[in-house]
Amino acid sequence: HAGAAVKSNLAHVVTIERHIMDQERMHPEATGALSNLLYDVGLAAKIINSHVRMAGLADILGSTNVVNVQGEVVQKLDEFAEATMQHALLHTGRVCVLASEEDEQPILIPVGYPSGKYTILYDPRDGSSNIDVNVSIGTIFSIHSRVTPGDGPGSLVDCLQPGRTQVAAGYVLYGSSTMMVYTTGHGVHGFTFDPTIGEFLLSHPDITTPAVGKYYSVNESYFPRWDPKVQALIKRYKGLDDNGGEAKNCRYIGSLVADFHRNLIAGGVFCYPADKKAPTGKLRLLYECAPLAFICEQAGGYASDGTQAILDIVPTELHQRSPLYIGSRDDVRMAERMLSGS
Ligand code: P6P
């Protein structure tokens, strides 16, 4: 009977590798390349996680005194996460080009290494200002099929694709536990890292997000900089206008992946509006807004720049920014109505 008990327990253990294989079986034409690419991201996540967990002990806290392409001081953990992603992705032949928040230009496949049929764009470690104060941070990734012909190295063209064409997207949240959440277009699935066996185990199958959320997330200190329509929207979320809408609770961690994940699970709307100082917002379209928008829509939510779906925006620059309203579908649709004045 002990054997039966063990067998029954094991039946519930679905590793992310097993799940990726199950997802692959939904695509008869699959060659396994996307599955292998997702394994590679999972491996990078485990390695980054091991360093995030001991960042307070190892000499990787603090800054490198280097300023990156975004004009932000590079944290030591930024450098480590970037190096880990490149090491896991560059030489495997799954991708034809990479793009990272940390690098101004696309990262080309080294000479002598094979190119694959995918492109991956990522923010290796989002929320750097939170590292030294032990607040959750995240990794975000977006995967497209290459659009340039042939099987040689890819280029910027392979990176500048609208979010609607993503084949997969996901994030890793280094929080009270480490989770990896991803979609390949067949729902959203969450995995919790079990450090005792070094595996991500399925803990949140088929995540869906409520149509109306109980939270709103925004940096209220920017209120004076916002367009009056944005100010009116946030007042609506707070239940302060005469529309009688139920007041939402404010939750804002200042770490995109943590704020997004809480709202995905519990229901809520995250807003990073454009303002006088940031006329196109702060967050990056290709490797922050678009992957989270793909995940959000797959979970029944919606993501907008205030006038159109994030997934429909055709990018023109690798690091272009976008205003972002993302989360519970009805809350985001209301933002579009109020911001477009309809
Ligand atoms: P603000 C962190 O630096 C980040 O890029 C996101 O993770 C987060 O949502 C946002 O910036 C916070 O920005 O202007 O509110 O500090």
Return per-residue pLDDT of the chain as tens, 342 residues.
Answer: 667 766 666 667 899 999 988 888 888 878 888 999 999 999 999 999 988 887 666 665 666 677 777 776 666 788 889 999 999 999 999 999 999 999 999 999 999 999 999 999 999 999 877 877 889 999 999 999 999 999 999 999 999 999 999 999 999 999 999 999 999 999 999 999 999 999 999 999 999 999 999 999 999 999 999 999 999 999 999 999 887 778 999 999 999 999 999 999 999 999 999 999 999 999 999 999 999 999 999 999 999 999 999 999 999 999 999 999 999 999 999 999 999 976
Q: Which atom of ligand 1 is nearest to the CA of 257?
A: 7
What is the pLDDT, as a whole number, of residue 134? 84
Q: How far is the CA of 124 from the centre of ligand 1 (A)?
A: 14
Cβ neighbors of 54 (< 8 A, separation 6 or more) are: none
Cα separation, 207 vs 327, whole angstroms: 13
Other CB atoms within 10 Å distance of the CB of residue 319 = 16
What is the pLDDT, as a whole number, of residue 7? 65
Q: Which atom of ligand 1 is nearest to the CA of 259?
A: 9
> Each residue of 301-318: b (16+ CB within 10 Å) or e?
bbbbbbeebbbebebeeb
Q: Identify whether the C-beta of residue 276 lies closer than 8 Å to the C-beta of residue 308.
A: no
Q: What's the gap between Cα 16 and its chain centre?
A: 17
Cα separation, 189 vs 183, whole angstroms: 7
Q: What's the gap between Cα 127 and its chain centre?
A: 12
What is the pLDDT, as a whole number, of residue 26? 84
Edge-to-edge strand ranges of the sheet holding 107-108: 107-108, 95-100, 118-126, 137-145, 168-174, 178-183, 189-194, 199-204
What is the pLDDT, as a whole number, of residue 312? 98
- Residue nearest (by alpha carbon) to ligand 1 atom 16: 254
Does ligand 1 have an atom closer than 6 angstroms to the CB of 273? no
Does ligand 1 have an atom closer than 6 angstroms to the CB of 305? no
Q: Identify whether the C-beta of residue 159 lies closer than 8 Å to the C-beta of residue 286.
A: yes
Q: How far is the CA of 120 from the centre of ligand 1 (A)?
A: 22
Q: How far is the CA of 282 from the centre of ligand 1 (A)?
A: 8
What is the pLDDT, as a whole number, of residue 61? 62
What is the pLDDT, as a whole number, of residue 64? 67
CA distance to 89, 196, 314, per residue, from 149 (Å): 21, 44, 20
Q: CA 68, 88, 62: angle at the middle one, nearest 5?
A: 35
- Residue nearest (by alpha carbon) to ligand 1 atom 3: 127
Does ligand 1 have an atom closer than 6 angstroms to the CB of 129? yes
Q: Across-strand partners of 93? A: none
Q: Identify whether the C-beta of residue 52 lies closer than 8 Å to the C-beta of residue 100.
A: no
Q: Identify whether the C-beta of residue 85 lies closer than 8 Å to the C-beta of residue 46.
A: no
Edge-to-edge strand ranges of the sheet holding 302-304: 249-250, 215-217, 268-272, 324-327, 302-304
What is the pLDDT, as a whole number, of residue 70? 72
What is the pLDDT, as a whole number, of residue 1? 64
- The phi, psi pair for 102, rounded to 5°, reads -85, -10
Does ligand 1 have an atom closer than 6 angstroms to the CB of 219? yes
Q: Which helix (H) or strand (E) holds 268?
A: strand 268-272
Rg (CA), the chain: 20
